[in-house]
Homo-oligomer: A and B are copies of this chain.
Amino acid sequence: MGELINVAQERLRAQGGRMTIQRRLLFSILDSLGEHPTAEELLLLARKQDPDLNLSTVYRTLRWLEAESLVSSRVFAEERRQERFDAALPSEHHHFMCTNCKDVIEFDTDLFGAIKGQFQELSGAKVETGSIVLYGLCSKCRQTKNGNNLNLETE
């Protein structure tokens, strides 16, 4: 934490950009938030401190961060097919999404390198990036034996 804000500020300066109130706010939220918000969720969070913040600004800021490789985004298999943004500085990690409560859990694995290697061998391709996404029932939702919550997963 505290990382993103500083790195971003440097880069901003380096390219003649300006550190606006909106950006500072968004940077700091992203930096401390351990989640994977959509643009709209981020907007809602940010509006608690800056009620006039606009969705366009959120998108513009996210896209800039993305171009700087300071956030990444992906589309999970949800009802609404919207991007979710990940503020983690490029530490490679993967994701699990609970199909019931939609919670996202991050995880790491040493086997990912092996998989990339395997595929490169076999195909002759050069793998640059990649990620794993798992779906299922998180431990919390497993205990709540598919009863009370909507969206029950039988089996």
Footprint of B on A, CB under 8 Å?
74-75, 77, 81, 83, 96, 98-99, 105, 107, 109, 111-112, 114-116, 118-119, 122-139, 142, 153
Given A75-B81, A77-B74, decide whether A123 and B137 contact each other with a Cβ distance below 8 A: no
With the chains together, A135 CA to B99 CA distance in Å? 25
Give the 8 A-B CB pairs with smallest separation, nearest first: A124-B139, A130-B134, A127-B136, A75-B75, A128-B136, A126-B137, A125-B138, A126-B136
With the chains together, A42 CA to B124 CA distance in Å? 29
With the chains together, A127 CA to B125 CA distance in Å? 29
Given A114-B111, A125-B139, A136-B126, decide whether A119 and B96 contact each other with a Cβ distance below 8 A: yes
Q: A114: which B residues are within 8 A, CB to CB? A: 111
Partner of A115 from B74, B83, B109, B153 at Cβ < 8 Å: B109
From residue A104, how far is it (CB to closest CB) to chain B in Å? Answer: 11
Contacts A115-B132, A125-B137, A131-B133 supplied; 20 other A-B pairs, CB < 8 Å:
A75-B75, A81-B81, A96-B123, A96-B125, A96-B127, A98-B125, A107-B119, A109-B115, A111-B115, A116-B134, A123-B138, A124-B142, A125-B138, A125-B142, A127-B134, A127-B135, A128-B135, A129-B134, A129-B136, A130-B134
Is B105 a contact partner of A134 (Cβ separation < 8 A)?
no
Partner of A135 from B75, B107, B129, B134 at Cβ < 8 Å: B129
